Structure 1
Amino acid sequence: MGKSENIIVDKSFKFSLMVIKLYSELKRIKEFDIARQLLRSGTSIGANVEESTAAFSKNDFNYKMGIASREARETRYWLRLIHKSKIFEVPNEYFNEINEINSILTSIVKTTSESLRK
Structure 2
Amino acid sequence: MERDLKARTKRFALDIIDLVEKLPNTISSRAIANQLIRSGTSVPANYRAATRGRSNKEFIAKLGVVIEEADESEFWLELIQDKGWLEVNSLKTEASELVAIFVSIVKKMKNK
Q: Amino acid of the residue matched to residue 99 of structure 1?
A: S
Question: Would you say the 8 A contact 1:48–1:65 is kept in 2?
Answer: yes
Tell me whether 1:11 sits opposite 2:31 in the alignment: no
Report the 3-state secondary structure (helix = DSSP H, G, I; strand = E; otherwise coil) of the residue aligned with 2:22. Answer: helix
Supply the distance in 1 between the matched residues of 2:66 and 2:17 (Cα, whole angstroms).
Answer: 17
2:25 corresponds, among 23, 29, 32, to: 29
Question: Would you say the 8 A contact 2:77–2:88 is kept in 1?
Answer: no
- In structure 2, what is the equivalent of residue 60 of structure 1? 58
Aligned-residue sequence identity (percent) comes to: 34
Supply the distance in 2 between the matched residues of 1:71 and 1:101 (Cα, whole angstroms).
Answer: 10
How many angstroms does 1:35 deviate by?
0.4
Per-residue CA deviations over 1:15-60 (Å, capped at 9, x if unaligned) read: 000001011112x533211100000001111110011111111111
RMSD: 1.3
Mind listing any 5+ residue stretches in structure 2 that lack a counterpart? none
Mind listing any 5+ residue stretches in structure 1 that lack a counterpart? none
Bigger drift between 96-105 and 55-64 goes to: 96-105
Aligned pairs (5 A) from 1:39-58: 39-58=37-56
How many angstroms does 1:110 deviate by?
1.0
Report the 3-state secondary structure (helix = DSSP H, G, I; strand = E; otherwise coil) of the residue aligned with 1:56. Answer: coil
Instruction: Give the aligned length.
Output: 110
- In structure 1, what is the equivalent of residue 77 of structure 2? 79
Per-residue CA deviations over 1:59-86 (Å, capped at 9, x if unaligned) read: 1111111100011111101100111122
Supply the distance in 2 between the matched residues of 1:85 and 1:91 (Cα, whole angstroms).
Answer: 11
